[in-house]
């Protein structure tokens, strides 16, 4: 299939299903950064990757310096760094120099508020300009940034802000009113709330207006001399049990961000890049902010949510050359068919990549027809901080495969023995757990306040990802599934425990078990099984009330789409709900080992 960059547009696929709109390549078409995979892997060293960046005096490292100041000082200050397209269609453009100045002002504002390096700055906004400025300004000030997804309900927000000991929150006035104001009492450590669109004349109580606190500051700021191992980022992610896990990442992670942007996304400084992920999640941070800026591109930011006409319009009008998106969105585009593509000029596009969930082989076939080039799937997770396995511009894509490990990344398929020992499976095509040899710069440094949980992710030299996969004879990795009960819906990782806990808060609920069920567009959908307390009867009204309760607490992105009542849920002898059994029964799959089953619904 090749890289597709130079392919002439064909008019139909083999089955003649899709008309092609791509014109002759007229856009930016540089030689790929990774031309000879084996050769680059052979000569790769992390020191050489570090040398792609600049660093601070005395071996220091700061993400904001690498992302912004380096370009601003190096003659590219006037280059467009951020191109923001607001939901109302208005546009804003910030050069690297303007982004440096704006983030310096924010860093000064933090100092003026008495916020110390190491304290945590949470951001909860849509994709607005202030978010990007605040994130870079907080790095600059040596603070730790924790992004939250703006579609979370109050409960996931409060849990994460409590666990993360949030000192500052940057949010919008609407989100503050809807989700935060009522939580302030629960968050005594939250000293400052900065409203991106708050006006000084009409302030919310106990908040600062962005204009009042940031805009008057000086644009000269002496960057806090962070060390490579100082913590820059806190990303919450979901596990099967317990509270969300807070993965901590160091400033040194920028080495991986940069080099994966270079090799896996093939970013060149003249690219117009668009990552559709929300910065509330790790992709939107690593590849929606950091990697594009360290690679010096123009980073397109679209505030509005998915809509095919808007997205196609952005690709065409902004002349996007590299596009990084996710399978759920691709499937939604595919569903709309050929008609939705008609009339667009995508000639600037030269590289497409996808992440976050399994990418169906049909999506690659479709993009070949629709855009004249394949989607390049890649794989990583919150804990790895950056792309670990990818399909590359210059290598053939095997539709359905996640690709091959990045230079410097040693991946393996392993099996775990009863005693926890790990054995590498050398044989091709054998299924096992995907493991990565520890030691790359963006590996999480710890789980916040849960060091034992962090240690359990490792066995000797291997980091165990919790994903099942296989490797074929050509060294390509294929995703098989999760080894745990975590749910991936529309690209968002959802912990069943968090959903069950919210349901259990309802007076009628005695037990709840939450699973993911397959969905043609979202990958998986959240489904809950609920047993009621004595005195409550299953009814359509109660079902609706429970769905409403969950949506209000958790937000629509996390809440179950369906709830089913059961008299009893299958449990182990120690009382743990057997989600795997619920799922097997729901999907008509083999029930597997049920020797620990204690009570049952049947
Ligand atoms: P997150 O930490 O939210 O980024 O989610 C990481 C998880 O998403 C991985 O452990 C996988 O289960 C899944 N994932 C990410 N990328 C892919 C991919 N390309 N193919 C299949 N699953 C993926």
Supply the DSSP string of 217-264, one letter for each residue.
S-S--------TTSEEEEEEE--SSSSPEEEEEEGGGHHHHHHHHHHT
Q: Which atom of ligand 1 is nearest to the CA of 382?
A: 2
Report how far ligand 1's centroid is from the alpha carbon of 53 (Å): 28
Residues with Cβ within 6 A of ligand 1? 237, 282, 355-358, 377-379, 381-382, 402, 465, 467, 479, 482, 488, 493
Instruction: Report the pLDDT value the prediction gives residue 179, as an integer from 0 to 100.
Output: 94
d(CA 362, CA 356): 17
d(CA 529, CA 544): 14
Report how far ligand 1's centroid is from the alpha carbon of 299 (Å): 23
Instruction: Please name the residue that has the structure tokens 């908040």.
Output: 207
Instruction: Report the pLDDT value the prediction gives residue 593, as an integer from 0 to 100.
Output: 74
Instruction: Report the pLDDT value the prediction gives residue 241, as an integer from 0 to 100.
Output: 80
Instruction: Using alpha carbons, select from 450, 428, 435 the residue that is nearest to residue 483.
Output: 435
Pairing of strands 245-250, 231-237: antiparallel
Report how far ligand 1's centroid is from the alpha carbon of 583 (Å): 20
Task: Name every residue whose Cβ is closer than 8 Å to that of residue 194 and which is 6 or more positions away in sequence.
Answer: 109, 134, 168, 169, 170, 171, 207, 208, 209, 210, 213, 214
Instruction: Report the pLDDT value the prediction gives residue 599, as an integer from 0 to 100.
Output: 58
Q: Which domains does the chain have, with CATH numbers?
A: 487-587 (3.30.300.30)
Instruction: Report the pLDDT value the prediction gives residue 9, as an integer from 0 to 100.
Output: 32
For residue 142, the 8-state DSSP code is T
Q: Whose CA is nearest to atom 1 of ligand 1?
A: 381
- Backbone torsions φ then ψ of 497, nearest 5 degrees: -65, -40
Q: Which residues of the chain have pLDDT under 50?
A: 1-25, 601-602
């Amino acid at each position: 299939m090749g890289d597709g960059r130079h392919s002439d547009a064909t008019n139909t696929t083999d089955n003649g299903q899709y008309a092609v709109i791509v014109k002759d390549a007229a856009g930016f078409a540089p030689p790929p950064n990774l031309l000879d995979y084996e050769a680059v892997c052979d000569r790769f060293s992390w020191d050489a990757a570090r040398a792609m960046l600049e660093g601070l005096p005395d071996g220091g490292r700061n993400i904001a310096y690498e992302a912004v100041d380096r370009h601003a000082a190096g003659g590219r200050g006037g280059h467009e760094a951020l191109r923001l397209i607001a939901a109302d269609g208005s546009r804003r453009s910030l050069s690297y120099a303007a982004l440096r100045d704006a983030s310096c002002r924010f860093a000064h504002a933090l100092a003026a508020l008495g916020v110390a390096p190491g304290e945590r700055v949470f951001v909860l906004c849509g994709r607005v300009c202030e978010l990007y400025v605040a994130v870079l300004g907080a790095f600059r000030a040596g603070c730790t940034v924790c992004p939250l997804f703006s579609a979370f309900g109050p409960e996931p927000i409060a849990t994460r802000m409590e666990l993360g000991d949030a000192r500052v929150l940057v949010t919008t006035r609407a989100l503050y009113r809807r989700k935060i104001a009522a939580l302030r009492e629960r968050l005594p450590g939250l000293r400052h709330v900065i409203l991106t669109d708050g006006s000084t004349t009409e302030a919310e109580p106990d908040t600062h207006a962005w204009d009042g606190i940031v805009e008057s500051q000086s644009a000269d700021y002496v960057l806090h001399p962070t060390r490579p191992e100082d913590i820059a980022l806190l990303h919450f992610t979901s596990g099967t049990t317990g509270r969300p896990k807070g993965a901590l990442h160091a400033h040194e992670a920028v080495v991986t961000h940069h080099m994966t942007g270079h090799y896996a996304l093939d970013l060149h400084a003249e690219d117009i890049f668009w990552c559709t992920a929300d910065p509330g999640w790790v992709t939107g941070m690593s590849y929606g902010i950091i990697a594009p800026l360290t690679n010096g591109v123009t980073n397109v930011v679209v505030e509005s949510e998915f809509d095919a006409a808007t997205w196609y319009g952005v690709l065409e009008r902004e002349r996007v050359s590299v596009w990084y998106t996710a399978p759920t969105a691709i499937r939604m585009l595919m569903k709309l068919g050929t008609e939705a593509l008609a009339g667009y000029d995508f000639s600037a596009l030269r590289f497409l990549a996808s992440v976050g969930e399994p990418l169906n082989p049909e999506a690659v076939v479709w993009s070949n027809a629709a855009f004249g080039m394949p989607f390049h799937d890649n794989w990583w997770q919150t804990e790895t901080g950056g792309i670990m396995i990818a399909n590359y511009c210059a290598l053939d894509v095997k539709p359905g495969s996640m690709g091959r490990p990045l230079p410097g990344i040693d991946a393996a398929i392993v099996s775990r023995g009863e005693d926890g020992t790990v054995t590498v499976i050398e044989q091709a095509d054998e299924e096992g757990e995907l493991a990565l040899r520890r030691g790359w710069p963006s590996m999480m440094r710890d789980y916040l306040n849960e060091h034992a949980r962090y240690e359990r992710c490792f066995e000797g030299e291997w980091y165990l990802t919790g994903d099942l996969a296989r490797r074929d004879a050509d060294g390509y990795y294929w995703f098989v599934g999760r080894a745990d009960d975590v749910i991936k819906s529309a690209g968002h990782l959802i912990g069943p425990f968090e959903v069950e806990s919210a349901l259990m808060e309802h007076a009628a609920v005695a037990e709840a078990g939450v699973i993911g069920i397959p969905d043609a567009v979202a990958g998986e959908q959240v489904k809950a099984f609920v047993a009621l307390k004595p005195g409550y009867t299953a009814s359509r009204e109660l079902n609706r009330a429970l769905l409403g309760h969950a949506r209000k607490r958790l937000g629509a992105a996390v809440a179950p789409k369906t709830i089913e009542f059961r008299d009893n849920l299958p449990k182990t002898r120690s009382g743990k709900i057997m989600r795997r059994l619920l799922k097997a029964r729901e999907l008509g799959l083999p029930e597997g080992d049920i020797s620990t089953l204690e009570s049952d619904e049947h």
